[in-house]
Structure 1
Amino acid sequence: MAKYLISFPAAAMDVPDDEFDAVVRDSHAVIEEAKAAGVYVFGGGINEDVPPVLVSADGGVAEGGYPWAPPLNGGFTVLELPTREEALAWASRIATACRCDQELREFGFDPHS
């Protein structure tokens, strides 16, 4: 089975204040369903109150991430599923619950991980 990343950048989550509680409820319900189905691996959002640091190959640490890359923020869910079609179905459920588009990416297989 492959692992899939379902994610969205923070700017995509443009939900009116009066719908936010419903988004939280609905998105948590989908995650609970994924856990019950045994496909949930990990999920969460980037804590934007904690700034990133860039750790170099020589062990040096610098404030900030890659200067050329867009900021990494938003929400992420990792599921382990037997097919891409099932990953698309879960991504659709998450998109509906969050009321925003989701990106779907497949992790490359690493036999040592």
Structure 2
Amino acid sequence: MSRYLISFDDGAMTFPEEELPEVAKASLEVVREARDAGVWVFGGGLQRQRASVVSTDGTVTKGPYPETKAVLGGFAVIDVPSREDALEWAAKIAAACRCAQEVREIMPDPTV
């Protein structure tokens, strides 16, 4: 099994605000389906533009950032047998969230 990060950028969800309850319900249904299938590891939405960057010297730069800086809006980590499986789950999440999703394989941890 391999773990994959499925994510979308902040601001990618461009549907009308009144549709948010319907989108939230659809998203939770996909999470429930992934849990029932045993592939869900962890995920969630992130507070908009609340990121902080910590430099190698310990300097902290707090958001919000200019709109030109891409910021992660939400993510899911799943554990599936193949990239194709990850892409299928990403398609379900994209449909539920009504926005495109990025899929990246998480490098295995040799100590685990």
TM-score if structure 2 supplies the norm length? 0.85
Query: What is the identity, as a one-letter code, of the residue corresponding to 1:108?
Result: M
Stretches of structure 1 that go unaligned for 5 or more consecutive residues are none
SS in 1 for 2:72: coil
Q: How many residues align?
A: 109
Identical aligned pairs, as a percentage? 46
How far apart, in 1, do the equivalents of 2:45 and 2:21 lie?
Answer: 17
**Structure 1 residue 51, shift from structure 2 partner:** 4.3
Against the structure 1 CA distance between its residues 49 and 102, is the aligned structure 2 distance closer, same or farther, given a 3 Å change threshold?
closer
Against the structure 1 CA distance between its residues 77 and 15, is the aligned structure 2 distance closer, same or farther, given a 3 Å change threshold?
same
2:60 to 59, 62, 67: 62
Query: What is the identity, as a one-letter code, of the residue corresponding to 1:63?
Result: T
Against the structure 1 CA distance between its residues 108 and 49, is the aligned structure 2 distance closer, same or farther, given a 3 Å change threshold?
closer
TM-score if structure 1 supplies the norm length? 0.84
Is 2:99 the partner of 1:100? yes
Q: Which moved more, 1:92-101 or 1:44-53?
A: 44-53
**Structure 1 residue 72, shift from structure 2 partner:** 2.6
| RMSD between superposed Cα atoms in Å | 2.1
| Match of residue 88 from structure 1 | 87
